Amino acid sequence: MACTANEHRPGMIIVVGPTASGKTHFAIDLARRFDGEIIGADSMQIYQHMDIGTAKPTPAEQAAATHHMIDVVAPDVDFDAAMYGRLASACVDEIISRGRRPIVAGGTGFYIKALMYGLFDEGPADPDIRKNLKARAEAEGSVSLHEQLFRIDPESAKKIHPHDTYRIIRAMEIYAVTGKAPSAVQKCHGFQAPRFRAITIGLSWPRSVLYDRINQRVDRMMDEGLMDEVEGLLNRGYGRNLKSMQSLGYRHLAAVVAGEASLGETLQTLKRDHRHYAKRQMTWFGADPAVHWIDPDQGAVQVDEKIHAFLASL
């Protein structure tokens, strides 16, 4: 969906990379140098009360640069990429109206896609089919439905996490209504051109270094009180079946609280799952030829050159 009005908008800077790659600090530095405001693109940082386990920018970091799309909704809200796309697009307009530059930073590639290209969100639907699929998800679990989706449409299934119940149900609903693979239906929706002009910078560490950073981050989260954060959420009535509570760290430690797993084994599993998540993120972003990959330790001058060249081309 090419929006003519956006052709005159200032260029946007996008910062992507796997978890624990340093996107927050990098984006803050860019915001200072390019007079920008940061729009978060993290599917978990939009939730209130979920700070430590999401590696949400600290109050000091948020004071260093204006941040948007953080602490947007309560943990029991079924937030999705379509909602993100609408809200983040409004943030872009607000930032530009102040004469500043939007800097999108995050590791949720599907959210960035929703902002840049829009989503196929108003396609074939059937409330009765959706209700039935929700009941099946509750009875069988989202992983079982995800396996069925994989048999129907591997392309769609590979892009959806097994615990992302909302998107699994939506894909299965499209298939049930149309008899066609959701990926095939979505390719026909016409949102092929980006809605904003942007340069995308990717942060790439050697795998061994990234994995060390991930392990250290998990240890730091525990030291900062992640267990207390999870217990606090559960005590507030945010159940384990919520989409937000099914995410990394929260579902792991909720099992410890319930006495279903030991803390020691859970921490090792959590580190492993974070590493697997980072690998999936790199697969997603690595498939985008528009990403300019840099070494975060050595890329400051290189990044400035790329961004200045991009801005000069507008």
Task: Render each residue's pLDDT in the chain as its tens digit; 314 residues.
Answer: 223 334 445 799 999 999 999 999 999 999 999 999 999 999 999 999 999 999 999 999 999 999 999 999 999 998 988 899 999 999 999 999 999 999 999 999 999 999 998 876 556 778 899 999 999 998 999 899 999 999 999 999 998 888 888 889 989 999 999 898 988 887 766 556 788 999 999 999 999 999 999 999 999 999 999 999 999 999 999 999 999 999 999 999 999 999 999 999 999 999 999 999 999 999 999 999 999 999 998 777 789 999 999 999 98
Whether the predicted model's global pTM rises above the 0.85 cut: no
| Domain identity same for 205 and 179 | no
Say if residue 89 is in the same domain as residue 203. Answer: yes
Collect contacts of 69-73 with beta carbons under 8 A, ≥24 apart: 69/39, 69/40, 69/41, 69/45, 70/40, 70/45, 70/46, 71/45, 71/46, 71/47, 72/46, 72/47, 72/48, 73/46, 73/47, 73/48
Q: Domain holding 159: CATH number? A: 1.10.20.140
Together in a domain, 198 and 143: no
Q: Residue 151: give the domain boundaries.
A: 127-186
Under 8 Å between Cβ of 288 and 204: no
Helix, strand or coil for residue 202?
strand
CA-wise closest residue to 101 among 68, 59, 72, 70? 68
- How many domains is the chain partitioned into structurally? 2
Q: Is-contact 105 15, C-beta < 8 A? A: yes
Is the domain of 109 the same as that of 56?
Answer: yes
User: Residue 267: enclosing H or E segment and its boundaries?
Assistant: helix 263-286
204 and 281 in a common domain: yes
| Structure letter (DSSP) for residue 10 | P
